[in-house]
A and B are shown apart, each in its own frame.
Chain A
């Protein structure tokens, strides 16, 4: 009886590991091949393959679309491609860079009501191509230039974030001294994320703006300073909780972090919105969640 008990215990303890390993394998596969079906006209089928065996890519397309894909010998090696098109036909032509012979069988007339364009079955006759002739990087099926443009724009937007922004430090610091309060607010606000890191002229401009006559400029100065300087802006935040303008006090609470003393002080603020945010912040400190 004891051995049975031990055996059952061991088996139960092993199950999570086995299932976890299976899950990891599936995740690995999903990372290398992604097939998405959408309702976007002309881009109903989207394929992203990264360093994946061609057979795996074809099998994933077949599984996802329900279109049977037949092949015998496929080249070894890994495929990297991004293909977008309305049907399996366009995506396969893109994937294989039109180097393979493809035969498509379409459903009967009655079945076409279910899927008007999608083939029912495909044969890949790949004797004359190798994996190096399949597409690499971004490939959008010919005839769908709009999707190609979209993909390229998408990639460009993503890339743009990683490219360094032009240095606007001097312009913004100069603009922060403008006679026009709206321009000062604009410059001070943009200095939150723009401008050289640890630049003394920016810090000076922000600290000067903390006592600007225009409340909107003070709001933005407090915001930008606290984002740039972090804990070093704590003193400025504690001063700001006494500002005559409730918008400045609101930002002091917004950026207070876990400064409980400041938040408790804000609970008696004359402005309801300041009290509201202070209450929320104090609650979040007592019940921390994922992100603050």
Chain B
């Protein structure tokens, strides 16, 4: 009985220890449309993301969830200073995100853009994170600058 009581206490303590170290990764995701206000061929949605001190890199991935249209794809771009990464979701309308693209720019301001290859409206999901190499998730703020 005493052993059972001790075991219960130990389990409780272990749960508290685990909870104390649980590091919830905050997901930043958004769904948006692009191309509704397109004047020219392609469209560009632009936002600025501010990564708090402690950030080592900024990463993002995109998923075009609208039904496929030949030649109409969604691209994702990240720019910080003189660094830039880009990727295209080459399969529209499926459940898969592109792989993450990453810019190792430390804390500060990153520009993130979703663009389309030609005229037409799309709906996309976007995931983005400011990240530290040790797995920390510094504060991430976003402000939209342009919607086309």
Residues in chain A within 8 A of chain B (CB atoms): 1, 4-5, 8-9, 12-13, 15-17, 19-20, 27, 30-31, 34, 36, 38, 48, 150, 153-155, 157-158, 161, 182, 185-186, 189-190, 192-193, 216, 219-220, 223, 227, 246-248, 250-251, 253-254, 272-273, 276-277, 280-281, 284, 289-292
Taking CB atoms, residues of chain A closer than 8 Å to B10 are: 8-9, 12
Q: Are A9 and B39 in contact (CB under 8 A)?
A: no
Q: Which residues of A contact B27 (CB under 8 A)?
A: 289-290
CB pair A189 B13 closer than 8 Å: no
A90-B81 Cα distance, complex, nearest whole Å: 23
**Chain B's nearest CB lies how many Å from the CB of A261?**
19
Nearest first, the 4 closest Cβ-Cβ pairs linking A and B are A16-B20, A154-B81, A12-B13, A219-B37
What chain A residues lie within 8 Å of B37 (beta carbons)? 185, 189, 216, 219-220, 223, 247, 251
Complex CA distance for A273 and B74, rounded to whole angstroms? 15
Q: Given A281-B31, A289-B29, do A251 and B36 touch, yes or no (CB 8 Å)?
A: yes
**29 A-B pairs in the complex with CB atoms less than 8 angstroms apart:** A1-B6, A5-B5, A9-B9, A12-B10, A12-B13, A12-B14, A12-B16, A13-B13, A15-B17, A15-B20, A16-B21, A30-B54, A30-B132, A30-B134, A36-B104, A154-B80, A154-B81, A157-B80, A185-B39, A216-B38, A219-B37, A223-B37, A246-B121, A254-B32, A272-B67, A276-B67, A276-B123, A281-B31, A292-B30
Residues of chain A with a CB closer than 8 A to B39's CB: 182, 185-186, 216
A250, B121: Cβ atoms under 8 Å?
yes
* Chain B residues engaging chain A, CB cutoff 8 angstroms: 2, 5-6, 9-10, 12-14, 16-17, 20-21, 26-33, 35-39, 48, 53-54, 56, 65-67, 80-82, 104-106, 108-109, 121-123, 125, 132, 134, 136, 142, 144-148
Expressed in whole angstroms, the minimum distance between the Cβ of A182 and any Cβ of chain B is 5
Contact yes or no, A5 B123, CB < 8 A: no
Option from B12, B21, B30, B147 in Cβ contact (under 8 Å) with A223: B147
Give Cα A189 to B13, complex, Å: 57
Q: B81, A150: Cβ atoms under 8 Å?
A: yes
Q: A284 to chain B: which residues have CB within 8 Å?
A: 31
Q: CA–CA, A36 to B105, complex, Å? A: 10
